[in-house]
Amino acid sequence: MKNAKKAASPKKTAGARRNGAGLPIDIGISEEQRGRIAAGLSRLLADSYTLYLMTHNFHWNVTGPMFNTLHVMFMQQYTEQWNALDMIAERIRALGFPAPGTYREFVKLASIKEVEGQPKALDMVRHLVAAQEATARTARSLFDLVGDANDQPTADLLTQRLDVHEKTAWMLRSLLEE
Ligand SMILES: [Fe+2]
């Protein structure tokens, strides 16, 4: 009993902390699986950030007869998207890995290409449909991995994000119909 107490002494913990390792994570998902999920979520964060910035850019630069509708709609969309970034990044942290947070990393990780210049209003809508759908595909591609690891919080987050991206893509797509 005495020896067992010694094995878990604060001294050992303090040593691990000094080495920068901190306390090990023991949530029932292996480090290898947590790493693969965090890498997938980093790609989702990069697509989500790129989509956020594209939507805010179009909010600033939209012109034409649909100005007010699109200006306000884009604001609602980028605000929702901005809040989602934090949820995704903090899930990566809870899994024990650093979240990417620079434009350089986001460009490298994203599947969405940035749009140069100022497209016409309906071309903005087409770009946003494509970016919403690309972000949905990235989220959906992680489900097998997350299911295998029994990672319900990440599955819940992905489900919420898919719901938003698919619904937003539908609303944007509807603007293009007669
Ligand atoms: Fe504004």
Residue 20: band (very low, low, confident or very high) from pLDDT cuts 50, 70, 90: low
Q: Length of the chain, please?
A: 178
Among 3.30.470.20, 2.30.30.60, 1.10.3720.10, 1.20.1260.10, name the CATH number for the domain at 29-174: 1.20.1260.10
What is the distance in A from the centroid of ligand 1 to the CA of 91? 29
Q: State pLDDT tens for residues 43-100.
A: 999 999 999 999 999 999 999 999 999 999 999 999 999 999 999 999 999 999 999 9
Q: Please give the distance of CA 125 from its chain centroid, rounded to a whole number.
A: 21
What is the distance in A from the centroid of ligand 1 to the CA of 144? 38
Average pLDDT over residues 146-175: 98
What is the distance in A from the centroid of ligand 1 to the CA of 174? 23
Q: What is the pLDDT of residue 8?
A: 41
What is the distance in A from the centroid of ligand 1 to the CA of 155? 33
What is the distance in A from the centroid of ligand 1 to the CA of 48? 19
Q: What is the pLDDT of residue 3?
A: 43
Answer yes or no: are the C-beta atoms of 107 and 44 closer than 8 Å.
Answer: no
What is the distance in A from the centroid of ligand 1 to the CA of 158? 28
SS3 150: coil
The reported pTM is: 0.87
What is the distance in A from the centroid of ligand 1 to the CA of 67? 12
Answer yes or no: are the C-beta atoms of 158 and 146 closer than 8 Å.
Answer: yes
Q: How far is CA 119 from CA 57, 122, 124, in A?
A: 11, 8, 6
What is the distance in A from the centroid of ligand 1 to the CA of 55? 11
Q: Does residue 38 surpass a pLDDT of 70?
A: yes
